Amino acid sequence: MICFIFVPMEIKYFRLIRTIAEEGNMANSSRRLFLTQSALSHQLRELEERLGFKVFYRKRNVWQLTDEGQELHALAVKVLDAINEGFEKIDYIKNGTKGAIRIGTECYFFYQRLLTFIKKMDVLYPEIEVNIILDPDNHPLKKILENELDIAIVHEKPKEEVLFCKELFEDEIFAFVHKDHFFNTKAYVSVEQFRQAHLIIHSYPLDSVFIYKHLLKPNYVEPENITAIPLTEIALEMVNANMGVMCKPKWALEPFKDFKDIVVKPIGEHGLKRSHFLTVRKSDRQKKYINDFISNFEEEFCYD
């Protein structure tokens, strides 16, 4: 009856066996392993005593594998190659977590939500650098196709085949007006009422303004006046003075709650809804740091 006794093998012994077998002598092996010949001989003797058989035998200063040693050498090669391959994969994954992401959005009010999210990402993924790109032309899809953005948050699902798209959430645009404004005479604001309104927008061009692009323009409605005011506080002061109308989602104005005379009115009988889509180049989906960012972004914003 043959008994096999399992002897735990340290990695250093596998390296020792492989190196001596490849170099054929102690002098070259010691230089390669950065050990003295005495230390190398001691390790080999210690290993053979633990195994209960000789791994090498020596002929004219040349070290050759015994039959048992050849099997052990084959095992050493497999183990060390597997370890090296594993560390190469780990290194690839680790390097894949590093990168810079340029992000832009069609909705200027979404930037304030982005800032909070990016602070969280700085803690979870310090090796991902996130840069918010403010686009004065407000054409994030064009920028992403021209490789000037990496991720864009847009309101329409892109048709380009080179882009990946994920719907995040849907919100509703409301009209914010003074309680004495004529918009406050009915349960909701009709599109025709905007003809006599002073519409306050964040910035031009008008085609970047959701309510204009998706409601007023398709219905050939032009407001009596349009004023661009990029500072929300000033815009709200004008609304509070009954000098204009602001159209935004409720969440965009949550930080500003001190205007008691401002009322919120739905737009249209069924409300004015819009979707937010995350868009990225399909070619970038293979980058781990991009996928890490997208996964966390979805967790933060999907259908909140």
Does the structure show a pLDDT above 70 at 242? yes
More confident residue, 288 or 245: 245
Considering 61, 95, 129, which residue would you say is the last residue of a domain?
95
Q: Reduced to 3 states, what is the DSSP secondary structure of residue 272?
A: strand
- Against a cut of 0.85, is the pTM above it? no
Q: Are residues 159 and 184 in the same domain?
A: no
Q: Are residues 158 and 283 in the same domain?
A: yes
Asked if the structure places residue 260 within a domain, the reply is yes
Query: pLDDT of 191-211, one tens digit each?
Result: 999 999 999 999 888 988 999
Asked if the structure places residue 5 within a domain, the reply is no
Does the structure show a pLDDT above 60 at 42? yes
Does the structure show a pLDDT above 50 at 122? yes
Report the 10 Å Cβ neighbour count for 228: 14
Domain of 153 in residue numbering reads as: 99-169+274-301
Mean predicted confidence (pLDDT) in 71-94: 84
| Distance of alpha carbon 26 from alpha carbon 145, whole angstroms | 60
Overall number of domains in the chain: 3
Q: Reduced to 3 states, what is the DSSP secondary structure of residue 116?
A: helix
Does the structure show a pLDDT above 50 at 4? no
Does the structure show a pLDDT above 60 at 214? yes
Mean predicted confidence (pLDDT) in 19-45: 91
Does the structure show a pLDDT above 60 at 13? yes
Asked if the structure places residue 1 within a domain, the reply is no
Does the structure show a pLDDT above 80 at 25? yes
